[in-house]
Amino acid sequence: MSRKRDIEELEQRRRWAEQQGGEENVARQHQAGRLTIRERIDTLVDKGSFQEVGKLTGAGEYEAGEVQGVTPAPYVAGLAKIGGRDVVVGGEDFTIRGGTTARLDRRKGGQGGFSEDLAHQYRIPLVNLIDGAGGSVTSAKRRGHATFPGVDSFDRSVDLLAEVPVVSAVLGSAAGGPAGRAILSHWSVMVAETSQVFAAGPAVVERSLGQRITKEDLGGPDVAVAKGGTIDNVAASEEECCWMIRRYLSYMPQNVWQAPPQGPADDSVERADDELLTIVPAERRRAYHMRRVIELVFDKDSVFEIQPDFGTALITCLARLGGHVVGVVANNPMVYGGAMDVAEALKQCHFIELCDTFHIPLVFLVDVPGFMVGLQAEENGVLRAGMRAVYVASQATVPVVTCVIRKCYGMAGMATCQQRGVNLRIAWPSAEWGSLPVEGGVAVAYRRELAEHPDPKAREQELEAELREFSSPFRAAEAFGVEDVIDPRETRAYLHQFIAAAQSRLATELGPKARTGVRP
């Protein structure tokens, strides 16, 4: 009989957990346009796959030794499946004390804790659904002393970045620890209008600097995604956010000891679109849509762009080619002619390391006139950031194929090649390269001659035309200074053959990669 009572109590306790912060707080969460943590997990994972761990955690109320109710701990975590593969998922329950830290013997997750230990030991991806504001000064009163920063260490979060895919979604106003946790991820996403992220929120900002600013203006996607690049992508809704997380993980292996999953090869690798022949305008000064080039070359509907709103002169995406996962890095001539500024350099560094870590071969579609020029760029440290991109490219060991669409100049051009590898560089007939573009370069190299010339403008144009003849990719191909010049329509088949062949190398290189040295 008492066994039956035990089971009844267990079921009662589970029901209390499912009530979360109570009807009123759940309604408030919905009114704010947000899902509860349990709804989020349901939306994210394969139907019925969530095995919660620690459902009984919370603060119990007792009368004469009989439990009257339990206020659940404000964190829900467990094991689930996404696309049939195991993942660890966890997130704060904002309906309970605003998702603040629970007072448990062991953390459930978020910053260390059970969920991070599980992802680490089982070597499976971790998804953090973040909706909490972190520490509060009131905890010092409760404990009787102020806690030293790091009582909840980020060490496990840091280690995971070398082991398994880590995804974080910011789904409310995140400051402090939860905000920091979001950054220690391979990929992060936030939801437009309902989420903000910052080191410190408006109240702290006003007290510290006298600045009055709304939380949306301080940490909405316009700042956190487009300007700061703090968070990678924006979703229009929580549903879209969950879809994006599933999509992102579909390109990733379970851990760095495995190869990325092979997708369906239902788009013919021989597909050769005529549009590729005319997409680059004959007029050299005219820009074109690089995203269209990417669509035409890689498998249909396989392109997932990372950081589309930050460092917009560069495009980084995960895609498939004949079903093989590839990382695509392409310059965007629509923004500053594709020049590499600080944001572009940081974006490229992160993406290269991401692909290198998870054994995803890289394809560069190059149209880069060089590092960004001008006072603003120099003040921002473009040279240091740009050389960091060169440094990171040099350390990557995953196979790289470089396809030059138009411009490939200078040190930014060097960051698109893998000189220590096979260094396969192929070029479209529209390609041109050198240490710097002929325009501007002539003015520097022939400064004295031009100064003394009666018509310097005409002479400059004459010299430019003369030098441009040498920039034909066919001449470099004669010298094997570029490995091949191809018909743009052959790009897909050509790249595919090499990416498919590179799988042999990738299979022998699985495991974590140590990167040594000091990045510039």
Q: Minimum distance from CB of 224 to other proteins (Å)? A: 17
State which of residues 86, 222, 439, 484 lies at the interface with other proteins (CB under 8 A): 439
User: Does 464 help bind other proteins (rule: CB under 8 A)?
Assistant: no
State which of residues 4, 47, 212, 285 lies at the interface with other proteins (CB under 8 A): 285
Q: Looking at beta carbons only, is 47 or 286 nearer to other proteins?
A: 286
User: Does 380 help bind other proteins (rule: CB under 8 A)?
Assistant: no
State which of residues 192, 200, 213, 335 lies at the interface with other proteins (CB under 8 A): 335
User: Does 145 help bind other proteins (rule: CB under 8 A)?
Assistant: no
In the block, tokens 């280690």 appear at 159
DSSP annotation of 225 reads I
Q: Minimum distance from CB of 287 to other proteins (Å)? A: 6
Q: Looking at beta carbons only, is 376 or 419 nearer to other proteins?
A: 376
Q: Looking at beta carbons only, is 4 or 286 nearer to other proteins?
A: 286
State which of residues 183, 272, 334, 422 lies at the interface with other proteins (CB under 8 A): 334
The answer to whether 340 and 371 are in contact (CB under 8 A) is: yes
Q: Minimum distance from CB of 443 to other proteins (Å)? A: 12
Cα(476)–Cα(425) distance, rounded to whole angstroms? 11
One symbol per residue from 384 to 423: x for binding other proteins (CB under 8 A), - otherwise; what is it? ----------------------------------------
Phi, psi of 306 (to 5 degrees): -105, 135
DSSP annotation of 100 reads P
The answer to whether 450 and 443 are in contact (CB under 8 A) is: yes
Q: What is the largest CA-CA distance in the chain?
A: 109
State which of residues 22, 264, 440, 520 lies at the interface with other proteins (CB under 8 A): 440
Q: Minimum distance from CB of 315 to other proteins (Å)? A: 14
Contact region with other proteins (CB under 8 A), list: 53-61, 158-166, 372-380, 474-482: 372-380
User: Does 236 help bind other proteins (rule: CB under 8 A)?
Assistant: no
Cα(121)–Cα(373) distance, rounded to whole angstroms? 47
Q: Looking at beta carbons only, is 265 or 334 nearer to other proteins?
A: 334
Q: Is the dihedral of CA 148, 96, 128, 385 positive or negative?
A: negative
Q: Where are the beta strands (DSSP E) in 298-416?
A: 304-306, 314-321, 324-331, 362-368, 400-409
The answer to whether 137 and 93 are in contact (CB under 8 A) is: no
State which of residues 43, 136, 237, 312 lies at the interface with other proteins (CB under 8 A): 312
Q: Minimum distance from CB of 262 to other proteins (Å)? A: 37
Q: Which residues contact 308 (CB under 8 A, 6 or more apart)?
A: 233, 315
Q: Minimum distance from CB of 457 to other proteins (Å)? A: 15
State which of residues 437, 488, 496, 499 lies at the interface with other proteins (CB under 8 A): 437
State which of residues 78, 165, 219, 333 lies at the interface with other proteins (CB under 8 A): 333
Cα(46)–Cα(461) distance, rounded to whole angstroms? 63
Helices (H), 130-229: 138-143, 155-160, 176-183, 202-209, 215-219, 221
**Distances in Å between the alpha carbon of 426 and those of 175, 321, 411, 474, 481?**
46, 17, 18, 11, 10
State which of residues 184, 265, 373, 383 lies at the interface with other proteins (CB under 8 A): 373
User: Does 465 help bind other proteins (rule: CB under 8 A)?
Assistant: no
Q: Minimum distance from CB of 228 to other proteins (Å)? A: 15
The alpha carbon torsion through 35, 40, 46, 48 (nearest 10 deg) reads -80
User: Does 381 help bind other proteins (rule: CB under 8 A)?
Assistant: no
Please give the radius of gyration of the chain, using alpha carbons only, rounded to the nearest integer.
27
Where on the chain is the footprint of other proteins (CB under 8 A)?
283, 285-287, 312, 333-337, 339, 369, 372-374, 376, 437, 439-440
